[in-house]
Amino acid sequence: MEETISLKELFHILRKRLGMILIIAFGAAIVGAIISFFFMTPIYQSSTQILVNQKKQEGTALQIGDVQTNIQLTNTYKVIIKSPVIVEQVQKKLNLKETVQDLTQKLDVTNERDSQVISVTAQDKDPKVASEIANVTAEVFKDEVAKIMSVDNVTVLSKAEVFKEQSPIKPRPILNIAIIFVVALMASTALAFVLEYLDNTVKKEEDVEKLLGLPVLGIVARMDEETTNMKSHAPSSRKVRGQTIGS
């Protein structure tokens, strides 16, 4: 027969182990705060935007087919931007110590659906370096795509800038602390129930009934040593033929 636990017992277990649960949760949150504020390196982000658009010939109107072609080209251009051909030149121009693979990991190239605009985003622990990587990548790509694709249809819409008191995108200490606290709270609560389940000591008469399957006939009260000594030294009396005789 499977054991069931009532809601009252659940609250009793939580109340009993509340100190342990809170100590673990707050302890984990404090450790997370220390790591987030003092050990994790802040990472900054900077972006530049590129427009893919065929230059209109004089006396001709822009056709819908040209726009669709430009939109389709954006998918190809996104791959080219992160190719070694582009990234190697960016590395050399900025004299960066990172390898081409590491520098590629710092770049993120995206565009909205059915949009001719490509966003080139770079991340670095130095906000100035992040903006330089984004801008130089856009410039190198604009020059190289004309050679690779034999077209001149790329325009830099906006350059990446460094803002005063720019905030890092990660780590986010408050978010980290909140997540760690919630996870630790859940884990410590689960641990409390596990410890209670593994505790086989008999604490009350109901436990005896569950364990032996027999009714409890009586309870032996616990007496401390002082009470026992007082009773053992107390004068006793007895009745003999109607008279009380004390000892």
Domain ranges within the chain, ordered by starting residue: 7-40+171-198, 44-158, 205-246
Nearest residue to 87 via CA among 96, 46, 38:
96
Question: CA-CA distance, 210 to 112, in Å (whole number)?
Answer: 65
**Cα 170–Cα 172–Cα 178 angle in degrees, nearest 5:** 150
Residues 6+ apart with CB under 8 A from 40: 170, 171
* 66-86 burial code (b ≥16 CB/10 A, e <16): eeeebeebbeebeebbbeeeb
Query: What's the confidence (pLDDT) of residue 1?
Result: 41
Fold classification of 44-158 (topology level):
Alpha-Beta Plaits (3.30.70)
Query: What's the confidence (pLDDT) of residue 85?
Result: 93
pLDDT digits (tens, 9 = 90+) for 117-158: 999 999 999 999 999 999 999 999 999 998 888 888 889 999
Give the range among 8-12, 191-195, 212-216 with minimum mean pLDDT.
212-216
Flag whether pLDDT at 61 surpasses 60: no
Structure tokens at 229: 């000594």
pLDDT digits (tens, 9 = 90+) for 36-45: 999 999 999 9
Flag whether pLDDT at 2 surpasses 60: no
